[in-house]
Structure 1
Amino acid sequence: MSASDDKDHSSNSKIEEFKPGFVIKVVQFNIVLYASCFWIQQSCFPYMSKKLGVDTITYGYLQTAFAVAQLAGGPVFGRFGDLFGARAALSIAFGSGVLTYAMLGLATSVPMLFFSRFLSIFLACMQGSQMVITDLVPVERRADALGKLGLFYGIGMVIGPTVGGQITKTFGEEAAALTAATGSLVSIFITLYFVPKHVKHVKAEDQNVANVFSISEITKVLACKGAAFLMAVKIVVGIPIGVLQSVFSRVAMDQFELPANYNGFVMSYIGIVTMLVQGVGVGVLTKKYSDMSLMKFGTVIATCAYLLISQVTGIYQFCVAIFPLIVGMTTMQVVIGAALTKTVASRDTGTMIGLSMATNSIIRAVSPTMGGYMLEMLGYPSIGYTGVVICGIVSALLFMY
């Protein structure tokens, strides 16, 4: 941790009541619970939407509605966290989860499904946790620490679909969604009791609502050296994987004919691979290679993986083909995320993370509708071919950069 960061921390009396290592462990545990709840509802959502008569294109609109809500809330949430602290920000994020999942569990019509998506406007639990980790670890360990956070998210991603699939099979989709809401409520209590109010120094005069919604304060971090370039790369290479993620549940049902519980097992497999890459692979790679080298590696691997994915005809082939894609894209996402926080001062890390997460929301806003039309009009292989073209072009540009 830098000297300036130490000074900031020592000037905030709240930090003295909590050991940073303990706070990190609490955040990591809460991420497991959050990811479990998110993927419980994620595994039941496509089946619930199908039960209510949602077709492929409307399902894409539902995914887009979720992404738009996240896009609107992410940057503001990041700025709020910078000014008002970790405890308040994380409490709001988990509260948004309670409302989102509860509304999904109570939904009896398509409009209620859409309303549940819009309630997720501040469902930024991963973003809030990344803000805490970024402020508590030294710059040189940041990528590894954020990767480890992804490891704990991966644990929840393994637990969630498996538990969600079994709850859905035994008690129904509504019970699965309400279980996720209950888990998010538990996370609120953990946050209020164990997470300090602030993990970095904030000037008292900055803590007002007007500063939270200041567009100029939010967007000025993009002017920092290298930030716009990293954002652009993240958005472009994220579109193909976003398309694949948005339609996978429908592909699993319609093309691979998987029941809900088997769909959960596949999602758990993806979670295990992601967890290993984030928790072990990223830490090893960042010690040996530069950020640019890892970005080049990620795009080359992803290009080859998309070509394989375009050719699969069964679920076992898909599980083989998805492995190198997860390795390449996960490495890129962690490296770019950490690199973005290094481009700004410590007081603005939350805002930068908010904008970084907003790029994910942009991808999620575009991808579901795009994926729905591609699946309906061009068929499943078109998704893989799109990834080959996009990642191939980005890879070539990175080698020329």
Structure 2
Amino acid sequence: MMTTIYAVYLIAALDITWMFLQVSVTPYLAKKLGFDTLWFGYLQTTVGVIQLIGGPMFGRFADLFGARTALSLACASTVVFFLLLATADTPAMLFIHKIPTIFMHVLPASQMVVTDLTKPEKRADALSKLGLCFGIGMIVGSTLGGQLSKLYGEKFTACFGAAGSAFSLLLVLKFIPQNTKAETTRDDNRRKSVFNLSEITRLMKFPTVMQTFIIKIVAGLPSGIFQVMFSIIALEFFKLQPEQNGYLMAYFGIVQMVIQGGVIGRLTARYSDNSLLLLSIGVSSFVGLAQAYIQNVWQFCFNILPMMFSLSVFNVITDSILTKSVPSSDTGTMLGLCASVQSLLRTVGPTIGGFLYMNYGISSIGLIQFFVNIAVFVYLLQRRLNKTAEQRK
């Protein structure tokens, strides 16, 4: 079991490496092809729409056909994605190369395997280790991508990503078992369809699921806007070159590694999920306020520390709450729905972010994050105080 979990961690780290390799290619290739901020936003929105459709279906597919098949499909799609990126020499091809992202859900599939193989009380800590893998991939991918793009160009970097994704596929076939769920769970699932919408929406009826989803969307939208706009902000506001952008992303990764590997596990062992959720939203509100007044990249680097803390805790805790709220037979579908929330943010985020950035500047994105998150924080705090008062009575 531990061999499988360690293999999943390695596969996830490699997948994030290849994805951040792509971050060193796409914005600069788009600029060469004549994309402005608005059209780059449309490109990001396209990815969001595709993955919004694919996320729940992929999660259901993973529950029905097993971890190895799901991860194999995701890695194979990533190979195609990079090969299309390497041949993208027109604006149309840059849009077409995003089509395979409908199946590119390595991280949710990895989360499903970890969820299936860990006890509920250890789940948040185990999921946070995937965040540690994310940090490693961010550092290696950003640094490597910046260097490869600088020395050999975008096409070579994309081909390198395709070769790396093929290696990830071989690891899946070698180390991941066909199924990670209990036998009775698999028997029940085999009688159900990937495209059964009622089986997907049924999960929303479990206690706390709908409320947690709404919080995940509302509180996550402002920070999601900043994330999808960051490549443009780095290029236009901070005036970073590909190599410098790679170093900044590596710094992101180092901070995330420390938080995911050394902080979240200790916090989840001492505090409840609801307390940590409240903390992450509170910190996020003040991160937004700080972003509104950032003037240079050095100030931004200082703000990255609380930003990565709030994002990491928020994502790990909400995923943990949601997977604990449903039967083990549906963890893949639930994690697919969690991924679709991120896709939803990427769908509406570029359009909203592009409008705000072009008309009101970077400060508007930070101020919206502050006001939205402080409102959610007050709402959750009030509910918690009311619940405590009722229990005392």
Q: Give the TM-score category using the shorter length.
A: over 0.9
Deviation at 1:206, TM superposition (A): 3.9
* Aligned positions of 1:2-401 closer than 5 A: 20-200=1-181, 201=183, 202-204=185-187, 206-207=189-190, 211-401=193-383
Question: How many aligned positions are there?
Answer: 381
Distance 1:59 1:165 in 2: 20
Say whether the 8 Å CA contact 2:59–2:335 is kept in structure 1: yes
| C-alpha deviation, 1:241, in angstroms | 1.3
Unpaired runs of at least 5, structure 2 = 384-393
Q: CA deviation at 1:172?
A: 0.7
In structure 1, distance between residues paired with 2:6 and 2:89: 39
Structure 1 residue 205 displacement after superposition: 6.7
Which ranges of 4 or more aligned residues in structure 1 deviate by more than 6 Å?
Answer: none
- In 2, the alpha carbon distance for the partners of 1:206 and 1:143 equals 25
1:323 and 1:205 mapped to 2: Cα distance? 45
CA contact (8 A) 2:186 2:329 kept: no
Give the Cα–Cα distance (whole angstroms) in 1 for the partners of residues 262 and 210 of structure 2. Answer: 28
Partner letter of residue 104 of structure 1? L
Answer yes or no: is the 8 Å Cα contact 1:309–1:322 preserved in 2.
no
Q: Contact 2:224/2:349 (CA < 8 Å) preserved in 1?
A: yes
Q: Is the 8 A contact 1:242 1:368 kept in 2?
A: no
* Partner deviation per Cα, 1:315-340 (whole Å, 9 max, x = no partner): 00111112112111211110110110
Alpha-carbon offset, residue 168 of structure 1: 0.5
Aligned partners of 2:151, 2:108: CA distance in 1, in Å? 33
Aligned AA (1:142): R
Q: Partners in 1 of 2:81 and 2:155 — Cα distance?
A: 13
Q: CA deviation at 1:242?
A: 1.2
Deviates more, 1:242-251 or 1:20-29: 242-251
Q: C-alpha displacement at 1:68, in angstroms?
A: 0.9
TM-score by length of 2: 0.95
String of CA shifts for 1:240-274, please: whole Å, max 9, x gaps: 11111111111112121111100111111111111
One-letter amino acid matched to 2:259: V
Scaled by the length of structure 1, the TM-score of the pair is 0.93
What RMSD, in angstroms, separates the aligned Cα atoms of the two structures?
1.1
Contact 2:63 2:189 in 1 (8 A): no
Query: Which whole-Å CA distance do the structure 2 matches of 1:374 and 1:118 have between them?
Result: 27
CA separation in 2, counterparts of 1:341 and 1:102?
35
Please tell me whether the aligned partners of residues 278 and 334 of structure 1 are also in contact (alpha carbons under 8 angstroms): no
Aligned partner letter, 1:278? Q
Deviations 1:333-379 (A, max 9, x none): 10110110000111111111111111111111111111111111111
Report the Cα distance in structure 1 between the residues aligned to 2:97 and 2:207, rounded to whole angstroms.
38
Give the deviation of 1:398 after TM superposition: 0.9
Q: Which runs of 5+ in 1 are unaligned?
A: 1-19
